[in-house]
Amino acid sequence: MSGVDSLWEILVVATVVALAGLAVIVGLVRGGGKRGGKSDTTTIERPPTTPVEVEPDGDRPQPPPGEGVEDIGGGVAVEVEPEPTTPTLERPASARGRLARLRARLARSNNAIGNALLALLSSGGLDEQSWEDVEDTLLQADLGVEATDELVGKLRTRVQVDGATDPEVVKGWLREELLALVDPSMDRRVAASRVGDRPAVILVVGVNGTGKTTTVGKLARVLVAEDKDVVLGAADTFRAAAADQLQTWGERVGVPTVRSDREGADPASVAFDAVKSATEYEADVVIVDTAGRLHNKAGLMDELSKVKRVIEKQSPIDEVLLVLDATTGQNGMRQAEVFGEAVNITGIVLSKLDGTAKGGIVVNVQRRLGVPVKLVGLGEGPDDLAPFDPEAFVDAIIG
């Protein structure tokens, strides 16, 4: 080996070391967080590209691969070791009409309720037994005792006064009364636009396994389809895999995830950093995922209160979404009340409505918590989350 060659090797090694050193410094600065030693536990995983402009209607021509994708001077890893391939970003389905698209799925699991009710109501000669059967059907659909009494009371009055047995007329009444219970007047918009000069902050809470992380991922897609700049925060630090799961969702649509690589890192600190980065990047919205399991319930509630308190040092929280698994019925409802005591819930996401004939829970949970169902999960697919639309929902149920 000649002297020139080894000199060359030394130069290369030195350059690599210098670049790596620079990269670490850049990483620390970008990572933010001025409190001692905090910043190096939280890394901001920026995808190597900004999101490709998304045209929800898909009528704009797509740029050829590589174009329309611009380097934002990305993360550390990009400078030292360029990504071997530019990931192809997915185009999420537009939010509008999602529930209509998923209607068949909702109907499949839930129109048994509608069918049973209509069969009973239009059978003519409604006796006491028939009304009890109507009640049972509604209770089985998880409508709850209070709403069931109300609905049956109203229908009985109408049948008494008008004496109609024409199935179409009865169906119309049922539709009207169900819709009134679902309450179309509630504001179901999800706060996801900048508020003044800061991003909107959404906190997502709920018991383990209800579908929080999936919901955050799906919601990010809904928002990307609306051309929003989204940042995700992986404040479920209970398991390292939780952050990976979230980051994967983000990467598919070009959304960065603020996370910690350390299992058991302080979730409040990750949440703090997520909101901070979103502010720095002038994002439209930051969505913070949280853990649903700790050593005990009190511990979890303390942790959530702390996450909330620490975020609020920087920014008001605009939305706290509680994810509830629609298949868990009364049990889910009790969980919801416990969460409601720790954080101020502003909206409900009902997940897994595709797998249950208990759509009545929409009405029940809204009454118990006094907040609207804003989104519904209707499957495991990436675009199986829809804004909740009372009319489409009732139509799907009664066919």
Binding site membership for GTP: which residues?
206-213, 289-293, 351-354
Q: Residue 325 Cβ, how far from ligand GDP at the closest point, in Å?
A: 8
Residue 252: contacted member of ligand GDP, Mg ion, none (CB under 5 to 8 Å, by partner type): none
Q: Which residues fall in the annotated binding site?
A: 206-213, 289-293, 351-354
Provide the binding-site residues for Mg ion, judged by CB under 5 A: 212-213, 242
The set of residues, in sequence order, having a beta carbon less than 8 Å from that of 225 and lying 6+ positions away, is 54, 56, 91, 92, 93, 94, 95
Residue 103 vs 212, nearer CB to Mg ion: 212
Q: Output the smallest distance, CB 249 to Mg ion, in A.
A: 11
Q: Cβ-closest residue to Mg ion? A: 213
Give least dist CB 205 to ligand GDP, A: 9
Q: Which of 121, 232, 260, 272 binds ligand GDP (CB under 6 A)?
A: 272
List, in order, residues 6 or more apart from 261 with CB less than 8 Å away.
41, 43, 240, 243
CB of 260 to ligand GDP, least distance (A): 10
- CB of 240 vs Mg ion, minimal distance in Å: 12
Question: Is the distance from CB of 360 to CB of 330 less than 8 angstroms?
Answer: no
Which of residues 93 and 268 has its CB atom nearest to ligand GDP in the complex? 268
Of the pair 38, 91, the CB lying nearest ligand GDP is at: 38
CB of 300 vs Mg ion, minimal distance in Å: 13
Smallest distance, Å, CB 86 to ligand GDP?
28
- CB neighbours of 284 closer than 8 A, spacing ≥ 6? 192, 193, 194, 199, 200, 223, 228, 229, 230
Verify binding: residue 284, ligand GDP, rule CB under 6 A. no
From 50, 86, 208, 305, residue interacting with ligand GDP (rule: CB under 6 A): 208
Query: How many chain residues touch ligand GDP (CB under 6 A)?
Result: 29
> Stretches 23-31, 93-101, 211-219, 224-232: which one binds ligand GDP (CB under 6 A)?
211-219
Residue 233, number of CB atoms within 10 A of its CB = 34
Out of 142, 177, 319, 354, name the contact with ligand GDP by CB under 6 A.
354
Given Mg ion, ligand GDP, none, residue 335, with its beta carbon under 5 to 8 Å by kind, binds none
Residue type, 35: R
The binder of ligand GDP chosen from 31, 33, 92, 360 (CB under 6 A): 33
Residue with CB nearest ligand GDP? 377
Q: Which amino acid is at 266?
A: D
**Selected binder of ligand GDP within 114, 211, 233, 254 (CB under 6 A):** 211
Interaction residues for ligand GDP, span 293-322 (CB under 6 A) = 309-310, 313
Residue ranges that bind ligand GDP, judged by CB under 6 A: 33, 35, 38, 206, 208-214, 266, 268-269, 272-273, 292, 309-310, 313, 351-352, 354-355, 377-380, 384
